[in-house]
Copies of this chain bind each other. A is one copy, B any other.
């Protein structure tokens, strides 16, 4: 690999001049500029970014920590590709680091990005608690932003979605359509998102004066198979229900399959709503209603914030987003005769 020194020699100038030509900073005569460009061309020169970053203590890279266990493929790919696209539009690169399977490993990933002198760090946490993250933000000088959690202390360092409110709305939509016996499939309960969605469901029922029946709440683990299993549990319990809210679309799909297997028509006998609005959902028969998680908007805003912190631009006040409830024909109007 040819170095700046070699280019300088070829062009008959000093390193400093070559550096000036490349950075566009400082005065260089057109004549020498031409010579330098010619020399660069001839030498096939490429700047060594490690050296540049070391000298400037900047990297033009933003790190993203996310666990590879994020189940939903569509959600994950939207997160990553949106981040890459948006950063790229700002002349920066994305460095993706696996948060693996524990809070400690998530910490390590962040540490690594810091050691690499990334200009900023984005965390899509799976295991770290909000308090741990508040501490981390104190610890690091560089901008750190957290997606999908509401921090206690550093409110401007996080962007989150009101999962509880979204779930509340979805449940309420079912109630308004005449449903009273609404079953609920949870996500993995070690996930705050899962907890919030469940809690929105409970609150909506309570708000409408409908008692919460614990036997209508069954645990799932985000996967289609766990959604199917949940329906089996539900049917075995004998509790009647006319609607079903699943904590994500994948489980909703599994649940629908199981309902059909049991000879129960969707939506004729049970209305179903999921979360995340995966793109295959509208093509299922019958179409699945869904609550669309604003992951794209959130990651986009997080990057806006980081760039603002870095380049000193405008810092937005908005740090939370809400989800759109997309009702398709899997939800039909009441009055409802609850299926036995």
Q: Which residues of A contact B (CB under 8 A)?
A: 1, 46-51, 53-54, 59, 68, 70, 73-78, 80-82, 84-85, 88, 93-98, 100, 111-112, 114-117, 141, 223-225, 227-228, 250, 253-254, 256-257, 260, 278-280, 282-285
By the criterion CB–CB under 8 Å, are A253 and B100 in contact? no
Q: Which residues of B contact A279 (CB under 8 A)?
A: 73, 223-224, 250
List the number of copies, as a whole number. Answer: 2
Q: Which of A47, A94, A100, A253 has the most CB of B within 10 A?
A: A253
Binding site secondary structure of chain A: helix
Given contacts A115-B48, A257-B285, contact A88 B100 (CB under 8 A): yes
Determine how close the nearest CB of chain B comes to the CB of A85; give it in whole angstroms: 5
A279 to B97 Cα, complex, angstroms:
24
By the criterion CB–CB under 8 Å, are B85 and A78 in contact? no
Given contacts A47-B115, A85-B68, A96-B80, contact A283 B73 (CB under 8 A): no
By the criterion CB–CB under 8 Å, are A46 and B97 in contact? no
7 A-B pairs besides A49-B112, A68-B85, A223-B279 with CB distance below 8 A are: A48-B54, A73-B74, A73-B76, A93-B112, A94-B98, A253-B283, A285-B285
A98 to B59 Cα, complex, angstroms:
17
A48 to B88 Cα, complex, angstroms:
25
Given contacts A95-B95, A283-B228, contact A48 B100 (CB under 8 A): no
